[in-house]
Amino acid sequence: MDSSQLSFAWPWLFLLLPLPLLARYLLPPLQQATAALTVPFFEELKARQATEQTRRTMHVTWLALFAWLLLVTATAGPTWYGDPIEIPTSGRNVMLAVDLSGSMAIEDLTWEGQPVDRLVVVKHVLNDFIARRQGDRLGLILFGTHAYLQTPLTYDLDTVQAMMDESEIALPGPQTAIGDTIGLAIKRLQDLEEESRVLILLTDGANNSGVTEPIQAAKLAALKNIRIHTIGLGADQMVVPGLFGSRVVNPSYDIDEQALQDIADITGGEYFRAKDSDSLERIYTLIDELEPVESDPDIYRPVTELYPWPLAAALLLSLLLLWQRARHV
């Protein structure tokens, strides 16, 4: 149903519309100058001038009245209210934590048929995931030897994507500080609504840096009602060339899957194992489908101020009246 409408901020100003007519009839008329010279055909000339003057006066009067109407309309503040628009909000605050340790440079994954390092795949998959999170606030933590808050929680998903795209392997150090990363996420999430606190932690290794033990950090996160989903990334087989021919190795031997599983269990989250780009995409799709915390949608109603149009028209008519007056002076 169309509920758009025109409204005026100060409709009582339309009471000023009769003001020019009141001024015309209540104020004394201007004194007309008397003729200093009398000519034989004066009466005929006077009659012709009166007819022309009356026609011109009526034309000017109507233009002036229309300009006055436009001016009062603009002053009354005309505003057009469009149809109400519901902006869906999920109320979820999702912190993404991405491992940038040196092992993320291992080229054991493929993207579009080409071998690439682990971070390239993460960037592609995360960009799609972030784009689907309309209505959520997302933040980004990048960690290695140390954990850094790259992007605080924000509705500006483009900025989160840009910060993820600009990340570099080993930028926060070559090691892996999972416990400190969880601690930093707790600090950023603990003051928000309890049912909307989510951390998605992706790593390809084990905790070997930092001052906080991952399990102790997970227990604190559980006390703060922060749910942690963990993802272990890396292929389980990789062919590498050697002196005596190629051999098959496990490039993900150092992933501490038990610790990641425990972190998820303690906080009520889930642990996922991504061995290739397709499985990583499926994992983020599964996480994306988790039921959001419902909240009332924000109502937005477009508002358009219309006063510039009648004001501009009144100004143009005023200039036209001045031009006509100058012509007949």
Q: Output the pLDDT for position 191.
A: 86
Q: Output the pLDDT for position 245.
A: 65
Domain assignment present for residue 317? The answer is yes
- Verify that 70 and 96 share a domain, yes or no: no
126: domain CATH number?
3.40.50.410
**pLDDT tens track, the chain, 329 positions:** 566 788 898 999 999 888 888 877 777 765 555 555 455 544 554 555 555 566 666 777 788 888 889 999 999 999 988 887 765 555 678 999 999 999 999 999 999 889 999 999 999 999 999 988 877 889 999 999 999 999 999 989 999 999 999 999 999 999 999 999 999 999 999 988 777 789 999 999 999 999 999 999 999 999 999 999 999 999 987 777 766 667 778 888 889 999 999 999 999 999 999 999 999 999 888 887 764 545 556 676 788 899 899 999 989 988 888 887 777 65
Q: Which domain holds residue 155?
A: 89-288
Q: Output the pLDDT for position 53.
A: 61
Q: Output the pLDDT for position 236.
A: 87
Domain assignment present for residue 194? The answer is yes
- Verify that 198 and 59 share a domain, yes or no: no
- Verify that 174 and 250 share a domain, yes or no: yes
The set of residues, in sequence order, having a beta carbon less than 8 Å from that of 102 and lying 6+ positions away, is 144, 169, 170, 174, 175
Q: How many domains does the chain have?
A: 2
- Verify that 239 and 211 share a domain, yes or no: yes
Q: How far apart are CA 142 and CA 282, in angstroms?
A: 22
Domain assignment present for residue 177? The answer is yes
pTM (predicted TM-score): 0.64
- Verify that 197 and 312 share a domain, yes or no: no
The set of residues, in sequence order, having a beta carbon less than 8 Å from that of 29 and lying 6+ positions away, is none
- Residue 77: closest CA among 2, 6, 127, 4: 6
Q: Which two tokens stand for residue 48?
A: 């012709």
Q: Output the pLDDT for position 169.
A: 95
Q: Output the pLDDT for position 323.
A: 82
User: What number of other Cβ atoms are within 10 A of residue 204's Cβ?
Assistant: 24
SS (H, E, C) the chain: CCCCEEEECCHHHHHHCCHHHHHHHHCCCCCCCCCCCCCCCHHHHHHHHHHHHHHHHHHHHHHHHHHHHHHHHHHCCEEEECCCEEECCCCCEEEEEEECCHHHHCCCEEECCEEECHHHHHHHHHHHHHHCCCCCEEEEEEECCCEEEEEEEECCHHHHHHHHHCCCCCCCCCCCCHHHHHHHHHHHHCCCCHHHEEEEEEECCCCCCCCCCHHHHHHHHHHCCCEEEEEEECCCCEEECCCCCCEEECCCCCCCHHHHHHHHHHHCCCEEEECCHHHHHHHHHHHHCCCCCCCCCEEECCEEECCHHHHHHHHHHHHHHHHHHHHCC
CA distances from 311 to 77, 143, 172, 318 (A): 10, 58, 59, 11
- Verify that 195 and 250 share a domain, yes or no: yes
Q: Which two tokens stand for residue 137?
A: 């606030």
Phi and psi angles of residue 136, each rounded to the nearest 5 degrees, phi first: -100, 155
